Amino acid sequence: MTLFQMEVLIAVMNTGNFTRAGEQIGLSQPGVSHTIRSLEKELGISLFIRERGGVRLTATGEQIAASARIILDQVSQMKRVAAAASGAPLSGTIRMGAFPSVSTQLLPRLLKALHGSYPELDTRLFEGSYPEIKEWLRTGVVDVGFLPWPDDEWEGVLLLQDPLLAVLPAGHPLAAAKELGLSQLAAEPFIMPMAGCEALIGSAFAAANLAPHVVYEVADNATILAMVEAGVGVTVVPALTLPDRLPSVVARELSPSLTRRIGLAARSLRDASPAVHALIRLAQRFSAPS
């Protein structure tokens, strides 16, 4: 069993599809199929169950894949130690998971700085929801992930605090206020954002012994703003999700304030590569208050 076979095995496990696995590692679909068939013949077992929508590991395949991941992680660690000892410039690939507001507001400047400081370092971005990013971290699809912080499952660092703001139609009677309380919003038709902050918002209302009058639950930020603009209801969203130029809506601070904390998470900081640590240092610098 070669290291290459292990890499192909893990890629197929992560993607659940031979074609997507090949795209991830730069191998054709027939090449992936041939490698997996050769590995199964060598081991004398079936590693995957072939289904119409893709493939999934057999019970034995899961055990073998877990061992293969440990071996690949150890090989990567040896390479990192050797690179650090030789003083070679940072290289390789960092795979990061991020949710849309971070991808839009933080990552463009961060990636520009990262590529400027370490031109030999490649980056790959996987954009998804909080649960998807956590699953990518668990399975090794990504090396680091931007997540609400703290999270007991992961090691990492706090990057920034993102205030949540009340958003209302520009002509709304409450729009003239400098800040708004949850009790004022609870009396209005409420559009609950469903991209991950619903638990935080719901907990804040519950802590104040209030229940919002939820008329719609919407995940897409642009749709939420369009609905507020149309007068369908009011909402509370993180500041990072708001565009630089708002449509015919206004954003107001909450009193008391409500904040989403965002961190950069990894499975292990001790075992993380120098490249990951470089990314963390830059992310802390770019997310620090100016």
pLDDT digits (tens, 9 = 90+) for 20-76: 888 878 888 899 999 999 999 999 999 999 988 889 999 999 999 999 988 987 887
Q: Locate 220 and state its tokens.
A: 């897409």
pLDDT value of position 88: 58
Fold agreement between 3-83 and 160-259: no
How far, in Å, CA of 157 to CA of 30, rounded? 41
- Look at residue 152 in the predicted model and tell me its pLDDT: 87
Q: What CATH fold (topology level) applies to the domain 160-259?
A: D-Maltodextrin-Binding Protein; domain 2 (3.40.190)
Q: Helix H segments across 26-118?
A: 29-43, 59-86, 100-105, 107-117
- Alpha carbon distance 52, 231 (integer Å): 45
Q: Summarize pLDDT for 174-212 with one digit per residue, the tens.
A: 999 999 999 999 999 999 999 888 999 999 999 999 999
The residue whose two tokens read 């990314």 is 279
pLDDT-derived band at 274, boundaries 50, 70, 90: confident
Report the distance separating Cα 64 and Cα 100, nearest Å. 34
Phi, psi dihedral angles at 179 (to 5 degrees)? -145, 160
pLDDT value of residue 289 = 59
pLDDT in tens, 79-138: 767 766 666 566 778 899 999 999 988 899 899 999 898 888 889 999 998 999 998 888
Euclidean distance between CA atoms 260 and 243, whole angstroms = 17
**String of DSSP letters for 266-288:** ES-SSS--HHHHHHHHHHHHHHS
DSSP structural state of residue 131: H
Fold of 3-83: Arc Repressor Mutant, subunit A (1.10.10)
Place of tokens 């069993």: 1
Predicted local confidence at residue 89, as pLDDT: 63
- Contact residues for 94 (Cβ-Cβ < 8 A; gap 6+): 121, 122, 123, 124, 143, 144, 273, 275, 276, 279
Is residue 128 within 8 Å of residue 100, measured between CB atoms? no
Contact 29, 19 (CB under 8 A): yes
Give me the pLDDT at residue 151, please: 86
> Residue type at 110?
L
pLDDT band at 288 (very low <50, low <70, confident <90, very high): low
| 247 touches 170 (CB < 8 A) | no
| The token pair that represents 154 in the structure block | 């992961």
Q: Domains of the chain: which residue ranges?
A: 3-83, 88-159+262-287, 160-259
Question: Which CATH topology does 88-159+262-287 take?
Answer: D-Maltodextrin-Binding Protein; domain 2 (3.40.190)
pLDDT digits (tens, 9 = 90+) for 242-269: 988 887 999 999 999 999 999 999 988 8
